[in-house]
Chains A and B, each alone.
Chain A
Amino acid sequence: MAALDQIKTIVVVIMENRSFDHVLGYLSLPRYGGRTDVDGLVNLDTDPRFASEYDHQIYRPFPMADGPLLHDLPHSRREIAVQLAVSGGTPTMSGFVRAYVEASHSIVEQPPPLGYLTPDSVFMSDFLARNYLVCDHWFAPLPTDTQPNRVMAFTGSATVDDTKSRIIPHRNLVFDWLTRRGVRWRAYHCGFSFFPLFGEFDHILGGNFHSMRQLASDIASDDDDEVPQVIFVEPEYGDSPVHFGFSPNDNHPPDPIGPGEHFLRDIYTALSSSPRWAQTMLVVIHDEHGGFFDHVAPLPVKIPVPAGALYQEPFVTTGVRVPALIASPFVRGGTCYRGNLDHT
């Protein structure tokens, strides 16, 4: 029997707004083990791929302590185009500082978009990376912000290209897809779920939406015939209009990443302490890069504008790379998968 057939439950966690180089790039640095199988940070002082330019001055990545930032980082469709800095049809990935200065009017020696975190700040991601699988070419589906990328993740196409307060038009919501195929699913939230933005309240008010507080007890008490085959776990979003007893832990700047790391630890602990862990796979990704630098150009992928979309200009690339980790007893520890992936 193939390993995939033995997996009975897939758990998907989509965090917010961090790039691969920012969170996991350190894995390639000599002082953190120098993994050559991971396409991360190398020769930061000399490698031209890590040079960002603003007003003819070159800025390079620097180690950043976790903490709140002064500003959120720019990550709209227009601002990401500045970050990609396409020249001769090729994204040079050299405009991260320029986009930040234009958005914040802040010109500092160490521009936050170029900060990279280290294991003491991302202790749980580091644990997962060292003991399970890193996917180092997992891209956000679209070079734009949260809603379009989450809509891609949950419906397979994007009818919006920006993030606003509105009901998002959509087709083929993943919950309907799973239900039609008889796949048991469940979603855990920390308070204000993303899914009300789809305007379909049957799912949210139904029995498949549980509080994150129930995750560990559900896993311990579910009968075999009611164990979900797919589980979505949502963080508490920092821009949620209300917080029902959870503090933001979604990793979205300007909030720090520490609460998100504890959130991942809680999920991993609940899953891995269950006997069912032997048949479980945990997938942790980020919806988009959130304005943090990455040195790998997005993939050239023409994505047609779907019917009913609220924008006209098609996307011609994926978004920027995001941190992606897969944990399961079926995964060989400390490995990296290099194939191109996205949320769809």
Chain B
Amino acid sequence: MRTQLFVALRSVVPAVVLCVGCASIDAFSANPRTACAGDAVTVTWAAVGDVTIGSEPAVADIGPKASAGSQKFVVERDTRFTLKASRLFSCKRTEADVVVAPPGREYGGVAACSTAERAIALTVPLGERQVSSALKVSSVTNGNPRPIVLAKGNVRATIPAGGRSAAFDREPVAGTWTLRADLAAGESCDDALRAVASRLTFRVGFGCGE
């Protein structure tokens, strides 16, 4: 009986504390996640409690902020932004990384297969959340275990498995990329998806500036 009472109290007390004195974080992001040196990245947050925006390394104008907001910060190198929300009974913390001009990144996701088109396909829109508008393609690599047709705007290239293409060099990374991998003769969608673990990806090498 005592334990049942204890269990019941454990259910009720945290709920009461949650209502009156706990911090919480509802949103936090720093975009774009891949930037060039000198880019302004937008940090957006929403929290319950006293909010402090921090960064490592420190950037100008970090510190205490309103509980919800959005602000631009200039980054010169890889930067980890932090959000700390404090209230009477708890403190919450979360992080968002911005990477400046990394050698490259892999993009993609879970693909769909069309029996009618006899192909696996995926669309990958890269926008201001993912990449700086200043980032340019320095190379594209197909890491999938089969050839893909990669397209962006008016540029289109067939890249063998494990192969590389220069067709997109100096194009902006931002934009909508499409990936397509044709089914082999007699191959079913299930078999094709199994062969690529339901994923299509491509790796983009980056460059910043002219």
Alpha-carbon distance A199/B2, docked complex (angstroms) = 11
Q: Is the CB of A166 within 8 A of B7?
A: yes
Q: Is the CB of B130 within 8 A of A55?
A: yes
Chain A residues closer than 8 Å to B110, beta-carbon distance: 53, 85, 87, 92, 94
Chain B residues closer than 8 Å to A104, beta-carbon distance: 94
- Report the minimal beta-carbon distance from A182 to chain B, rounded to whole angstroms: 29
Chain A residues closer than 8 Å to B149, beta-carbon distance: none
User: Given A70-B93, A107-B97, do A56 and B197 touch, yes or no (CB 8 Å)?
Assistant: no
Residue of A nearest to B131 (CB): A57
Chain A residues closer than 8 Å to B107, beta-carbon distance: 56-58
- Report the minimal beta-carbon distance from A7 to chain B, rounded to whole angstroms: 35
Residue of A nearest to B202 (CB): A58
B29 within 8 Å of A (CB atoms):
yes
User: Given A105-B25, A106-B28, A108-B95, do A57 and B105 touch, yes or no (CB 8 Å)?
Assistant: yes
- Report the minimal beta-carbon distance from B90 to chain A, rounded to whole angstroms: 13
B129 within 8 Å of A (CB atoms):
yes
Give chain B's interface secondary structure class: strand
- Report the minimal beta-carbon distance from B95 to chain A, rounded to whole angstroms: 5
- Report the minimal beta-carbon distance from A246 to chain B, rounded to whole angstroms: 20
Chain B residues closer than 8 Å to A271, beta-carbon distance: none
User: Given A94-B198, A108-B95, do A196 and B3 touch, yes or no (CB 8 Å)?
Assistant: yes
Alpha-carbon distance A88/B188, docked complex (angstroms) = 13
**A96-111 vs B, Cβ < 8 Å mask (1 yes, 0 no):** 0000000011111100
- Report the minimal beta-carbon distance from B125 to chain A, rounded to whole angstroms: 7
Alpha-carbon distance A104/B26, docked complex (angstroms) = 9
Q: Is the CB of A58 within 8 A of B201?
A: yes
- Give the number of chain A interface residues (Cβ < 8 Å): 35
**A131-174 vs B, Cβ < 8 Å mask (1 yes, 0 no):** 00000000000000000000000000000000011110000000
A221 within 8 Å of B (CB atoms):
no
- Give the number of chain B interface residues (Cβ < 8 Å): 45
Q: Is the CB of B108 within 8 A of A56?
A: yes
- Report the minimal beta-carbon distance from A19 to chain B, rounded to whole angstroms: 17
Alpha-carbon distance A71/B112, docked complex (angstroms) = 33
- Report the minimal beta-carbon distance from B93 to chain A, rounded to whole angstroms: 6
- Report the minimal beta-carbon distance from B29 to chain A, rounded to whole angstroms: 6
Residue of A nearest to B12 (CB): A165
Chain B residues closer than 8 Å to A107, beta-carbon distance: 28-30, 33, 95-97
Q: Is the CB of B3 within 8 A of A55?
A: no
Q: Is the CB of A106 within 8 A of B94?
A: yes
From the candidates B4, B94, B198, name the one contacting A92 in the complex (CB within 8 A): B198
Q: Is the CB of B11 within 8 A of A166?
A: yes
A244 within 8 Å of B (CB atoms):
no
Q: Is the CB of A199 within 8 A of B3?
A: yes
B residues 137-161 in Cβ contact with A at 8 Å: 143-145
User: Given A48-B201, A57-B106, do A105 and B94 touch, yes or no (CB 8 Å)?
Assistant: yes
B87 within 8 Å of A (CB atoms):
no
A51 within 8 Å of B (CB atoms):
yes
A90 within 8 Å of B (CB atoms):
yes
- Residue from B126, B143, B197 with most neighbouring chain A CB atoms (10 Å): B197
User: Given A56-B124, A165-B7, A166-B7, do A92 and B29 touch, yes or no (CB 8 Å)?
Assistant: no
Alpha-carbon distance A206/B124, docked complex (angstroms) = 61
A241 within 8 Å of B (CB atoms):
yes
Known: A49-B197, A166-B11. 18 other contacts (CB 8 A): A48-B143, A51-B106, A56-B107, A56-B108, A56-B124, A58-B106, A70-B93, A70-B95, A88-B193, A90-B193, A105-B26, A107-B28, A107-B97, A108-B80, A109-B99, A167-B7, A196-B3, A241-B10
Counting from the closest, the 7 A-B pairs by CB-CB distance are A58-B106, A48-B197, A165-B10, A53-B109, A105-B28, A92-B198, A48-B199
User: Which residues of B line the A interface, CB within 8 A?
Assistant: 3-4, 6-8, 10-11, 25-30, 33, 80, 83, 93-97, 99, 105-110, 112-113, 124-126, 129-130, 143-145, 190, 193, 196-199, 201
List 23 A-B pairs, Cβ < 8 Å: A45-B143, A48-B196, A48-B199, A48-B201, A51-B197, A51-B199, A56-B109, A56-B125, A57-B130, A58-B109, A58-B201, A70-B93, A70-B95, A88-B112, A104-B94, A105-B28, A105-B29, A106-B95, A107-B97, A165-B7, A167-B4, A167-B7, A199-B4
